[in-house]
Amino acid sequence: MDEIIDEDNINNPLNQFLLFLVGGDLYAIEALKTSEIVEYNQITKVPMVTSCVKGVTNIRGNIVPTIDLLDRFGLGETPINRKTSIVVINHEHQNTKMQLGVIIDEVFEVDDIDTDNIKEAPEFGSKIDKKFIQKMGKYNGEYMAILNIKSILNITELSTIAY
């Protein structure tokens, strides 16, 4: 799982995706980009970061920066309940591999989406900024956003000091 998969490597005949809920909506990311899913646990706040960076948490001895995905989308904060989880994502920034956690409402499932069911995202009509959407995937007859992890976890944007 240490290998970072290229964001454009979404044209395999079958692609396995992690499907999850954020703000009541279903989203997907490539399963290979994740290293694990853990129950929401204590997050230590870090001063002077953007509001979506909730802080850091200890996951198996590693200090993992944690981002509230709903807040990153500009749609408020994720209410914490018993199904709230943290998805640990393998990410690369300036040739450095790292792990970041994203807070989600709950995990839906891991499943394959055939390439024929993956289409370009429309330019408008989504609750979230188009830059966060890589493609649209059809799953069980409905389309959902396949998220652009590089854009969501843009370290430059996430490192902006909040005043």
90 pLDDT above the threshold of 70: yes
Rounded to whole angstroms, the Cα distance separating 133 from 25 reads 13
pLDDT category of residue 126 using cuts at 50, 70 and 90: confident
Q: 91 is written with which tokens? A: 């990410």
What pLDDT, on the 0 to 100 scale, is given for residue 111?
Answer: 93
Instruction: Enter the DSSP assignment of 69.
Output: H
4 pLDDT above the threshold of 80: no
Rounded to whole angstroms, the Cα distance separating 7 from 84 reads 26
Residue 58 · residue 101 · CB < 8 Å = no
The helix/strand/coil state of 20 is strand
What pLDDT, on the 0 to 100 scale, is given for residue 14?
Answer: 54
Residue of 89 and 126 predicted with greater confidence: 89
Q: Which CATH class is domain 14-158?
A: mainly beta
Residue 117 · residue 138 · CB < 8 Å = yes
Q: 35 is written with which tokens? A: 């290293």
Encode burial over 71-101: b for 16+ CB neighbours within 10 A, e otherwise: bbbebeebeeeeeebbbbbbbeeeeeeebbb
pLDDT category of residue 13 using cuts at 50, 70 and 90: very low
What pLDDT, on the 0 to 100 scale, is given for residue 3?
Answer: 37
In this structure, which amino acid lies at residue 14? Answer: L
- Average pLDDT for 90-119: 91
- Average pLDDT for 71-94: 93
- Average pLDDT for 52-70: 94
CA angle 133, 136, 139 (to 5 degrees): 135
What pLDDT, on the 0 to 100 scale, is given for residue 133?
Answer: 93
If residue 39 lies in a helix (H) or strand (E), which one and from where to where? strand 34-39
